Amino acid sequence: MDGIPDDELVAAVAKGDESACRELMKRHLGRVVALARRMLGNQADAEEIAQEVFLRVWKHAEKWEPGRAQFSTWLHRVGTNLCLDRLRKQGMDDLDAIPEPASEDPTPYEAMAQKDVARRVDAALQQLPPRQRLAITLSHYQGLTNIEAAEVMEVTVEAVESLLGRARRALKAALATEKDELLRRMNTGA
Amino acid sequence: MMNAGPITLERLDELLSAYGADEAGWPAGERQAARELIAASAEARRLLEDARALDTLLSAAPVEEPSEELVERLMAARPREVPKELPQARRGAGGAKKGGGLRGIAAALWPYGSSAFPAGALAASLVLGIALGTSTGISPIATNSGATTTAAATADTTDDQLIAIALADPSYIEEWTQ
């Protein structure tokens, strides 16, 4: 099934083809989970969102029109909207608002977590306003082009570039003090 | 922004600040000009390295594979194939040759429709017979006492309902053929 285009897989899914369902998930489920994980900050919520996205795929597979949109872009769009809805319901009404900064004094748990490079970077990501976080997630982590990211976010390419610039500057500042140390650890595997 | 001419260091800084060091993410219209500036300028290369360091850090953010439970939940909820053909026994006598076993025999005995129908009729007759036997006093339970008359009346109602269900609901006959 490796060479089969997504559109054909979706058509087979609509007919109840089990192997097509598995192949579609093999190609895309991990990316949807990753998108939601970076937007929401935890795996359980991310899997809930991914489940909802794929349930919609199962439900609407019959109506999918090949060539009208790229399937992966459509998935990102559905996943993005569900994530933003979840964030709104959690009280983040203003999607450009900057979240409250974390306490200066880390708890024992946070101090332990901060030893982990990956957790520290993730914490910095979670401190970004949602739309900046979304832009960097789509561009850097999901590998979308600026045009695709603009389509998913329903904004202009210029707006995506602006959000990305602000996001990366904020991340650079958040990680500046430990950047050298983090890079050294990563390079030495410590 | 999308012209194919040379770009300035300031614009390169904007591009790297937004899209990072991987040129695959740069806007297609400015990619070549950015490459040329990086090849020609030490300052441009410094900006590139700076962007690459941040990319390396960002790529350390955790991501987990989807759990097996999620995959199995979704597989359980996937669309199911709708059978296109009826069972072979319904195709008449011709189908009996391929059907084999009890289904083939049933089709041979009842070539004009569902082999489940005679079985359904038999079951309905049985229910009807029990109902009639109960309501006409053949049953030794039916006596002249008022208490048993009331009980028999209740039994009549219940049996009528059973018969009605047995004769009126074709869906369960369909189920027999599965």
For B95-152, how does the pLDDT look when each residue is reduced to its tens digit (9 = 90+)? 444 444 455 444 444 444 444 444 454 455 555 555 544 444 333 333 344 443 344 4
Which domain covers residue B94, as residue numbers? 88-176
Asked if residue B160 and residue B97 are part of one domain, the reply reads: yes
| Least reliable range by pLDDT among A13-17, A32-36, A88-92, A136-140 | A88-92
Whether residue B6 has pLDDT greater than 60: yes
Query: Residue B77: its chain A contacts at CB < 8 A?
Result: 55, 58
Is residue B129 assigned to a domain?
A: yes
Asked if residue A104 and residue A89 are part of one domain, the reply reads: no
Q: Which ranges in A61-136 belong to alpha helices (H)?
A: 71-89, 108-113, 117-126, 130-136
Of B18, B24, B73, the CB nearest to A164: B18
| Predicted-assembly ipTM surpassing the 0.95 threshold | no
Of B28, B64, B79, the CB nearest to A13: B79
Cβ–Cβ below 8 Å for A119 and B62? yes
Asked if residue A160 and residue A108 are part of one domain, the reply reads: yes
Other CB atoms within a 10 A radius of the CB of residue A70 amount to 13
Band of residue A145 on the pLDDT scale cut at 50, 70, 90: very high
Query: What DSSP designation does B140 have?
Result: T
What is the rounded distance in angstroms from the CA atom of residue A136 to the CA atom of residue B58?
10
Query: Residue B74: its chain A contacts at CB < 8 A?
Result: 21, 25, 29, 51, 54-55, 58
Percent of chain A residues topping a pLDDT of 90:
70
With tokens 């089990």, the residue in question is A18
As for how many domains chain B has, the answer is 2
> What does the pLDDT read at residue B145?
40
Residue B170 in tokens: 């074709």
pLDDT for A3-58, tens place per residue? 899 999 999 999 999 999 999 999 999 999 999 999 999 999 999 999 999 999 99
Band of residue A169 on the pLDDT scale cut at 50, 70, 90: very high
> What does the pLDDT read at residue B117?
46
What is the rounded distance in angstroms from the CA atom of residue A166 to the CA atom of residue B17?
8
Cβ–Cβ below 8 Å for B19 and A164? yes
Percent of chain B residues topping a pLDDT of 70:
43
What is the rounded distance in angstroms from the CA atom of residue B149 to the CA atom of residue A17?
60
Residue B104 in tokens: 């083939």
Boundary (domain end) residue, out of A75, A93, A111: A93
Of A47, A119, A183, the CB nearest to B67: A47
Asked if residue A52 and residue A110 are part of one domain, the reply reads: no
> What does the pLDDT read at residue A22?
96
Of B55, B61, B81, the CB nearest to A125: B61
> What does the pLDDT read at residue A112?
45
Cβ–Cβ below 8 Å for B80 and A16? yes
Cβ–Cβ below 8 Å for A165 and B66? no
Q: How many CB contacts within 8 angstroms connect chain A with chain B?
A: 125
Boundary (domain end) residue, out of A57, A77, A93: A93
Band of residue A163 on the pLDDT scale cut at 50, 70, 90: very high
Boundary (domain end) residue, out of A93, A113, A135: A93
What is the rounded distance in angstroms from the CA atom of residue B54 to the CA atom of residue A174?
11
Task: Pick A31 or B164 by higher pLDDT.
Answer: A31
Cβ–Cβ below 8 Å for B64 and A37? yes
Query: Residue A183: its chain B contacts at CB < 8 A?
Result: 53, 56-57
Asked if residue A124 and residue A85 are part of one domain, the reply reads: no
Q: What is the CATH number of the domain that holds A80?
A: 1.10.1740.10
> What does the pLDDT read at residue B62?
74
Asked if residue A66 and residue A132 are part of one domain, the reply reads: no
| Summary mean pLDDT of chain A | 86
- The alpha-carbon gap from A67 to the nearest alpha carbon of chain B, in Å, equals 22
Which domain covers residue A150, as residue numbers? 100-190
**Contact criterion met (CB below 8 Å) for A189 and A182:** no
Cβ–Cβ below 8 Å for A38 and B66? no
- The alpha-carbon gap from A89 to the nearest alpha carbon of chain B, in Å, equals 23
Cβ–Cβ below 8 Å for A30 and B27? no
Whether residue B174 has pLDDT greater than 90: no
Task: Pick B61 or B173 by higher pLDDT.
Answer: B61
| Least reliable range by pLDDT among A45-54, A91-100, B63-72 | A91-100
Whether residue A186 has pLDDT greater than 90: no
* Short-list A172, A13, A103, CA closest to B18: A172
pLDDT for B79-89, tens place per residue? 987 766 655 54
Band of residue A99 on the pLDDT scale cut at 50, 70, 90: low
Asked if residue B93 and residue B53 are part of one domain, the reply reads: no
- The alpha-carbon gap from A98 to the nearest alpha carbon of chain B, in Å, equals 19
Percent of chain B residues topping a pLDDT of 90:
37
